[in-house]
């Protein structure tokens, strides 16, 4: 049995409408399904605004799904409430995108970590302090940092503290929501390598959200490609990069620079991303797809599965 099984998950937001009009909804995540095995790293990529962060937040119940299931070790996290949800929270954590806004500036680093440790681990304060020091060592910081405050650290160091906080409850899986996008390029590689090392040592499953396919390929075993709230392609990382089947994935890969700094066969998508308030009929990508046919405009393609590669396209590459 998979550690995490997501079935037909959707997240929607109510849109303010006049009282005499029918209530409208914005679907940020639309009928998403995938599985995450124990110790596995899955990458989630797509343009800004495609629903990646909303999906990640829904998996840790920072957003409430409107339909679908999130089965964690067989228990439905999507419908858990109250005490049951609090008990399940020790099994999953999140690393946030902004290392500056995700830490309370008024709390010392020890207090920041101890809030999580004390909630999920029944131990005296001296043992909790030892655990906090071990967590800092694990992420490459010294125990002396426990008495300091967030403003005394750089962005990369703050993100390391955020990673330590996510590990404090010994979770089964972590959602990393673009953990390197707010950092300098020189720091990004060290954070990605740190996540990879920790994941291999602790066997914690990881959903790594990013818009940089090169970074995602480096850290992930499998990659999910998201467009307008839909998963349009899923495959092992190397297979997806070498043989993309969906035109959107092909366009994303064409924008990744090569080692010589050149872009080969750049695919330029026309038009803008449609509004999720008024999604197009048929395939959600057909308005920008260079291979769209009349069928794409009226029928939404089903998910086609070829061994370990799945895609939703009427005209796969």
Tens digit of each residue's pLDDT (9 = 90 or more) over 221-236:
999 999 999 999 999 9
Give Cα separations from 239 to 222, 235, 245 (angstroms): 9, 6, 10
Write out the E strands in 137-264. 173-177, 205-209, 222-227, 230-236
Scanning the structure block, which residue is given the tokens 């799904």? 65
**Beta carbons of 205 and 173 less than 8 angstroms apart:** yes
Give me the residue label for tokens 């409107």: 66
Q: Which tens digit of pLDDT belongs to each residue from 120-178?
A: 888 899 999 999 999 999 999 999 999 999 999 998 999 999 999 999 989 999 999 98
Using alpha carbons only, give the angle 290, 311, 53 rounded to the nearest 5 degrees. Answer: 90
Taking all residues of the chain, what is their mean pLDDT, rounded to a whole number? Answer: 89
Quick check: helix, strand or coil at residue 147?
Answer: helix
Contact 177, 53 (CB under 8 A): yes
For residues 279 and 52, what is the distance between their CA atoms, to the nearest angstrom?
A: 17
For residue 201, give both structure tokens. 């040592």
Model pLDDT for residues 191-248, shown as the tens digit of each residue: 888 898 888 888 899 999 998 888 898 899 999 999 999 999 999 999 999 999 999 9
pTM over 0.85: yes
Q: Which residues contact 152 (CB under 8 A, 6 or more apart)?
A: none
């Amino acid at each position: 049995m998979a550690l995490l099984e997501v079935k037909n998950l959707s997240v929607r937001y109510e849109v303010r409408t006049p009282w005499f009009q029918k209530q409208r909804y914005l679907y940020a995540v639309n009928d998403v399904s995938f599985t995450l095995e124990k110790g596995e790293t899955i990458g989630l990529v797509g343009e800004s605004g495609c629903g990646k962060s909303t999906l990640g937040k829904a998996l840790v119940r920072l957003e409430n799904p409107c339909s679908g299931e999130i089965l964690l070790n067989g228990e439905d996290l999507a419908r858990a409430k109250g005490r049951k949800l609090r008990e399940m929270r020790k099994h999953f954590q999140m690393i946030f995108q902004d290392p500056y806004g995700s830490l309370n500036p008024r709390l010392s680093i020890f207090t920041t970590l101890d809030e999580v440790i004390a909630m999920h681990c029944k131990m005296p304060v001296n043992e909790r302090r030892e655990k906090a020091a071990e967590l800092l060592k694990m992420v490459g910081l010294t125990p002396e940092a426990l008495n300091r405050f967030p403003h005394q650290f750089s962005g990369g160091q703050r993100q390391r503290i955020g990673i330590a906080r996510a590990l404090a409850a010994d979770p089964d899986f972590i959602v990393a929501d673009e953990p390197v996008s707010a950092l300098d390029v020189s720091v990004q590689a060290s954070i990605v390598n740190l996540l990879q090392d920790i994941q291999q040592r602790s066997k914690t499953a990881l959903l790594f959200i990013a818009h940089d396919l090169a970074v995602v390929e480096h850290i992930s075993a499998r990659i999910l490609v998201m467009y307008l709230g839909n998963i349009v392609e899923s495959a092992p990382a190397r297979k997806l990069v070498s043989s993309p089947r969906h035109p959107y994935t092909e366009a994303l890969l064409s924008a990744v620079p090569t080692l010589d700094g050149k872009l080969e066969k750049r695919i330029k998508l026309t038009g803008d991303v449609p509004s999720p308030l008024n999604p197009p009929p048929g395939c959600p990508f057909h308005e920008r797809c260079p291979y769209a046919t009349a069928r794409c405009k009226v029928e939404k393609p089903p998910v086609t599965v070829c061994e370990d590669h799945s895609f939703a396209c009427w005209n796969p590459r």
